[in-house]
Amino acid sequence: MVRVQESTAASSQEATQPVQGDWQQIQTDHESLRASAERLEGLLATLAEEAAGAADGHEVLDLLGRFHVQLLDHLDREERQGVLERAVATEPRFARLAGRLRSEHDMLRTHSEALVRGAAQLGWRPLHARFVEFHAIFVGHEEAENDVIWNANLEDLGGRG
């Protein structure tokens, strides 16, 4: 069995780097979440295919639970920091897109929670298929969010000035 390596980049960085800019922290979150999601998708694929050397299912479920907590922390951080609101204040043309992205936070929370709650009951194939679907939505959301923040030219968030 393939042992699941811990992906705790975000939490360890928070512990060792107490002061970071808002945007820098969000970027760090994005990179860590993306790496975790890619790893999870790969591990779930090996379990779904019952491949030789498939991952340890219990560890993958544990990793999924930790990804969910990491995602919730990240979404809460973005909302606390008001990054989308700040982007709209700078560039009102992003108001509609920012509103959509904000509402997608609740959808992502619900979707991720449903994956975690259903994970133990679902077979590996359905769980993998649902995670692939979630992953695509998550990546699309984060990319749109990055574009809004970047194009809003938020100097105080570390965007281009």
Task: Give me the residues that bind Fe ion (CB under 5 A), please.
Answer: 142, 145
* Residues 149, 157: Cα–Cα separation, whole Å: 8
* Residues 9, 73: Cα–Cα separation, whole Å: 14
Q: 123 phi and psi, to 5 degrees?
A: -75, 170
* Cβ at position 31, least distance to Fe ion in Å: 11
Note whether 83 and 27 are within 8 A (CB).
Answer: no
Helix (H, G, I), strand (E, B) or coil at 40: helix
* Cβ at position 33, least distance to Fe ion in Å: 8
Of the pair 22, 142, the CB lying nearest Fe ion is at 142
* Cβ at position 77, least distance to Fe ion in Å: 8
Note whether 89 and 56 are within 8 A (CB).
Answer: no
What is the amino acid identity at position 114?
Answer: A
* Cβ at position 126, least distance to Fe ion in Å: 27
Of the pair 1, 137, the CB lying nearest Fe ion is at 137
Of the pair 43, 71, the CB lying nearest Fe ion is at 71
Of the pair 56, 147, the CB lying nearest Fe ion is at 147
